[in-house]
Amino acid sequence: MSTTTATPEPCLVLSDHHGIYIPQLWCNDITESECESLHVRWEDVQCCQSGPDHEWYWEAWQAITDACYMTDDRGVTWRLWQDGDLWEVPDGYDNPEFFGEF
């Protein structure tokens, strides 16, 4: 009997209709104490919470998407991925169509 567990599917976090506000919307509910478990810097979160007019908004968002990961109660590690929409993608997910590699 096999105990292989399938990799979960990516989860849509914010659709691209939010445009330049995706970083701000994602960061709005994050507190300083949550930054450590998400592996992101509080300063970057604060920049994004300030909105797209902040001088370092896009640099901070890039730092967040590069560094952020979280592990759920099943031991699955999730990372942020954005290509228009913002997704949480489980480590090991390998679907070329999802990542635009037709």
Domain residue ranges in the chain? 11-90
pTM given for the model: 0.87
Q: What is the pLDDT of residues 34-75, one digit of tens each?
A: 999 999 999 999 999 999 999 999 999 999 999 999 999 999
pLDDT at 101 over 60: no
Cα 28 → chain centroid: 13
Three-state DSSP class for residue 14: strand
pLDDT computed for residue 100 by the predictor: 65
